[in-house]
Amino acid sequence: MSDEAHRPAEAPADLESAPPTDAARRSFIKGMGIAAVVGGVALAAGESALSALGTHIQSGTAGHPENRFVMVIDLAQCDGCKKCTDACNKEHFVPPGQEWIKVYTVDDGFGGKYSLPRPCQMCENPPCRNVCPTGASFVNKDGLALIDQSICIGCRYCLAACPYSARYFNWTEPPHAPEELGHTNTPEEPWPHKKGVVEKCMFCVHRRAEGKLPACVDGCPMGAIYFGDAAEDAVTNGQGETLPLRKTLSQNAAYRLREDLGTGPSVYYLPPRGRL
């Protein structure tokens, strides 16, 4: 298939046209029938799926997170340059046609437009994990949604379940950079890229082991992307600016995408009008 097969669905209408609203006015709608779907999938998957999921449980990668990593994106600072996408593509050897952090142009509903970067939202209750029949989509001990491509069967249930269009499927064998070929594919470093599996942003989990920020954070020349651990109540853009997380979110009407679905995204947005 063509490169178009790598692309996610276009952003939902409410993402591209609806103006942001105060997080305080948003309500969480829990229990969207996901449990029923998961139950049906688990029964159909059989013992092999339970065994694969058990691997992650035994290794301590499916329990309660020890950390809660969050990303804050200041839309007032984002100029839509897509340097974050370029940095991500380079860091992960992302195949052509994929954009693990995609930058949308959004109509604010008042005659203006602004840019909105969309990485994986790293949901606390990820629909992708809930529908995966093999346990390939799982949450690690740090609360990050990852993919074990060694047990991904390419069913693409997770693509259908993700409300953010943040997952991609390799229909054909991706081209390989020389740096990929001597590397071992793991959930934290999913390359060399494979045919017939799903992949996505992983918050650059591998870079944290080296004391580095995610590639998109380092690559943003505007300092619009902040990253940190909510347990420490601080996020930084790597350009000398560190913000108190709770205060910044509460004082600037921060919001999350489609949080009404009860997914619990770990990516927060500060409205494009600017911070107070």
Rounded Cα distance between 121 and 69, Å, is 11
- Torsion sign, CA atoms 138, 143, 146, 148: negative
Phi-psi region of 167 (alpha: psi -120 to 50; beta: other; left: phi over 0): beta
Residue 28: the pLDDT is 28
Residue 17: the pLDDT is 38
pLDDT digits (tens, 9 = 90+) for 26-78: 332 233 333 333 333 333 443 443 344 444 433 434 444 568 899 999 999 99
pLDDT digits (tens, 9 = 90+) for 241-261: 999 999 999 999 999 999 999
Helix (H, G, I), strand (E, B) or coil at 167: coil
Contacts 24+ apart (CB under 8 A), 243-249: 243/72, 245/70, 245/72, 248/72, 248/275, 249/23, 249/72
SS3 content of the chain, % helix, strand, coil (to 5): 30, 15, 55
Residue 273: the pLDDT is 79
Rounded Cα distance between 123 and 228, Å, is 15
Please say whether the beta carbons of 125 and 143 come within 8 A.
Answer: no
Residue 10: the pLDDT is 40
CA 254 remoteness from chain centre: 18
Q: Which amino acid is at 191?
A: W
pLDDT digits (tens, 9 = 90+) for 83-92: 999 999 999 9
Q: Which residue has better confidence, 36 or 228?
A: 228
pLDDT digits (tens, 9 = 90+) for 124-161: 999 999 999 999 999 998 899 999 999 999 999 999 99
- Quick one: which H or E segment has residue 247? helix 245-251
What domains are defined for the chain? 3-270 (3.30.70.20)
